[in-house]
Amino acid sequence: MRGYFITFEGIEGAGKSTQSVMLHNYLLQNNKKAVLTREPGGTTTGKKIRDILLSHTDEIFPPTAELFLYEADRSLHINNLIKPKLQEGFYVICDRFTDSTLAYQGYARGLDIKTVKEMNSIATEGLKPDITFLIDIPVEEGLKRISREREKDRIEKEDLNFHRKIREGFLKIAEEEKERVIILNGTEKPEVIFKKIVEILKNRNII
Ligand code: T5A
C-alpha cells in the first residue's frame, strides 16, 4: 500500500500555501488520510535549518551552502515524514520540493544543473512526486502579494532579475516533465484554481 505524493511549486507569493491548505482540507473532508507539509522545515530539525536558511546574515552565504542545507532538510523530511506517511497510505501534500532547488539554487543561483539534480536524487533516495502543480504568476504580482503581508526573508529580498530566473527555471522544468508537472494560472481566483486541481486529480484517478 502506498499513498500519493503531491507537490506544489512556484515563485514567492504564487499561492502554493493557499492551494496546499485547500487540498488538504478537501481530502480530510472526503475521509482520506492526508498530511500537509512543506520545505524547508517539515521536521523538528528541519525547522532549525529553515531558520538558518531564511534569516538575515552579514556573512557570505554561498549557493553551495544553501544547496547542502536544503538537501539536508529534505533528507530528514524524506526519512522522518514523507516516506513513512506514504507507506501508511497517506496523501502527502508538500509545499515546495526538489523543483524549488533546481529553480532557485540551479537556474537562479547558477549552480550546475546536473549536480543539483544529483543532489536532489541523493536526498530523496529516488522518490519523485506523483504529480506537481506549478502555480505560475508574473514575478511582480507574487512579490506585491507578499510585501503586503510581512517583511521579506533573505531569499525574497533578492532583486527582480533573480526572481525572473526562478520563474523561467520552473517553466523549463515543466516543459521537460510535462506528464508530472502541471502549470496552473496563479492569477485566477483561488477557488477557480482549486477546481482545476480537483478535476486533474480525479482524471488521473489520484482522488
Ligand atoms: N527555497 C525552497 C529554495 O531556495 N530552495 C529549495 O529547495 C526550497 C525548498 C521558502 C524559501 O526557500 C526557497 C524558496 C523560498 O524563498 P517560504 O516561506 O516557504 O520560503 O516561501 P514561499 O513558499 O514562497 O511562501 P509564500 O507564502 O511566499 O508564497 P505562497 O505559498 O506561494 O503564497 P500564499 O498561498 O501564502 O499566498 C500569498 C498571498 O497571496 C494571496 C494569499 O491570500 C496571500 O495573501 N493569494 C492570492 N491572491 C490572489 N489570487 C490568488 N489566486 C491567490 N492565492 C493566494
Residue 204 alpha carbon to ligand 1 centre in Å: 26
Q: Which of 68, 145, 195 to mutate to test the pocket of ligand 1 (most atoms within 8 A of CB)?
A: 145
Whether ligand 1 lies within 6 angstroms of the CB of 169 is answered as: no
Confidence band, pLDDT 50/70/90 cuts, at residue 77: very high
Q: How high is the mean pLDDT of the chain?
A: 96
Q: Which residues pair with 182 in a beta bridge?
A: 133
Sign of the four-CA dihedral 59, 62, 67, 72? negative
| Number of C-beta neighbours around residue 143 at 10 A | 18
Cα 35 to Cα 120: distance, rounded to the nearest angstrom: 22
Alpha-carbon Rg for the chain, nearest whole angstrom, is 16
- 86-132 confidence digits (pLDDT tens): 999 999 999 999 999 999 999 999 999 999 999 999 999 999 999 99
Global pTM reads: 0.97
Instruction: Tell me how far apart the alpha carbons of residues 202 and 52 are, in angstroms, rounded to a whole number.
Output: 39
Q: pLDDT tens across 7-52, in order?
A: 999 999 999 999 999 999 999 999 999 999 999 999 999 999 999 9
| Residue (of 175, 98, 191) closest to 183 by Cα position | 175
Average of per-residue pLDDT across 74-82: 98
Distance 145 CA to ligand 1 centre (A): 9
Domains of the chain and any CATH numbers: 4-203 (3.40.50.300)
Minimal-distance CA residue to ligand 1 atom 21: 12
| Ligand 1 atom with the shortest distance to the CA of 21 | 35
What is the separation, in whole angstroms, between the first and last Cα of the chain? 15
Residue nearest to atom 36 of ligand 1 (CA): 17
**Closest-lying ligand 1 atom to the alpha carbon of residue 20:** 35
